[in-house]
Amino acid sequence: MVNMGEVITAMVTPFDKNYNLDLESCSRLIDFLIKNGSDGILLSGTTGESPTLSDEEKIELFGFAKKNFGDKTKIIAGTGSNDTKHSIELSKEAEKIGVDALLLVTPYYNKPTQMGLYKHFEAISSEVKIPIILYNVPSRTSRNIDSRTCIELSKIDNICGVKEASSDMKQIAEIIRDTDEDFLVYSGNDGDTLPILSLGGYGVISVASHIIGNEIRKMISCFKNGEISEASRLHRCFLDVFYGIFITTNPVPIKEALNLKGMRVGPTRPPLYQIEEGNLQRFKNILKKHRIIN
């Protein structure tokens, strides 16, 4: 089993006030996440604002994280795009840097068929040797990796898991049922983590773990240790955090939460802008309720 850990944080990308990559803040944030429940760090995912990061910035980020934290945590590089050739090139660069795994998002906008999806991921996997986690997020990509396609992809040696953000529990159950035990299914939505664990899922690639990482780790541990009532209580307790961080487009709220905590990560890059005042006040109330901010 290729094990990246049960709690992987899909990390925001810190920028300075001029929207430049801020590696000093990045260092502080990774250190904070490692100390607060994260087994692995995913860079340049959706939460990391991958659409507005250049390839040069992504490679710089991967290299910085691997050099400074590679002995302390798993480093996973988001290298997928809607262009197979481009995805291969970036994946090979990340592999050269020495990252532990790749996260490959479903090709977006150009709407490939299921066979097109299979061929896309197969082509990338044939060009690298390191583990690959698929990323199914139909709300963003307009394409779903259906269960049959995912099951077939799981038979490729270095495709070791999937981040499932479809919220389709039938589909997720089929994937877990019909793949080998060493194919790991991660929740891609914090609010789905406990239901997916109950189906046999492994863990979560999380946004909320930026601010409640230890609590999420405890929920997963309780569930796996048979303390179902306590796991369910924790899930219910943090429901408003799980969904509050999506009060507007991710990663705008989670960056706001970190900045409010004093963990400076800067703004989101345009076209993403700050939370409107009404939603901001509602979000602050959630954070205060859980003592995430004062």
Give the model confidence (pLDDT) of 235-292 as tens digits.
999 999 999 999 999 999 999 999 999 999 999 999 999 999 999 999 999 999 999 9
Nearest to 45 by CA among 201, 175, 165, 172: 165
Structure tokens that stand for 224 in this block: 């796996």
H or E stretch at 64: helix 55-69
Structure tokens that stand for 72 in this block: 């302390």
Task: Identify the domain containing residue 153 by its residue range.
Answer: 7-227
Answer whether 243's CB lies under 8 Å from 234's CB. Answer: no
115-129 pLDDT, tens digit per residue, is 999 999 999 999 999
Residue 23 forms beta bridges with which residues?
A: none
Answer whether 75's CB lies under 8 Å from 99's CB. Answer: yes
Long-range pairs, 146-150, Cβ under 8 A, ≥24: 146/114, 146/171, 147/171, 147/174, 147/175, 147/178, 148/114, 149/114, 149/117, 149/118, 150/175, 150/179
pLDDT over threshold 90, residue 149: yes
In a domain, 245, yes or no: no
What pLDDT was estimated at residue 3?
82
In a domain, 282, yes or no: no
Q: Above pLDDT 90, what percent of the chain?
A: 99
| Helix segments in 129-191, DSSP class H | 138-141, 147-153, 169-178
> What's phi and psi for 87, nearest 5 deg?
-60, -40
CB neighbourhood size of 117 (10 A): 22
> What's phi and psi for 203, nearest 5 deg?
-170, -150
In a domain, 266, yes or no: no
What pLDDT was estimated at residue 1?
61
In a domain, 259, yes or no: no
Domain count, the chain: 1
What pLDDT was estimated at residue 222?
98
> Which positions are catalytic?
135, 163
Q: Which amino acid is at 28?
A: R
2-16 pLDDT, tens digit per residue, is 789 999 999 999 999
In a domain, 105, yes or no: yes
In a domain, 241, yes or no: no
**Those residues with Cβ within 8 angstroms of residue 12's Cβ, 6 or more apart along the chain or in another chain:** 29, 47, 48, 49, 210, 251, 254, 255, 258, 265
In a domain, 133, yes or no: yes
Distance CA 151, CA 287 (A): 39
In a domain, 258, yes or no: no
What pLDDT was estimated at residue 102?
98
CATH number for 70: 3.20.20.70
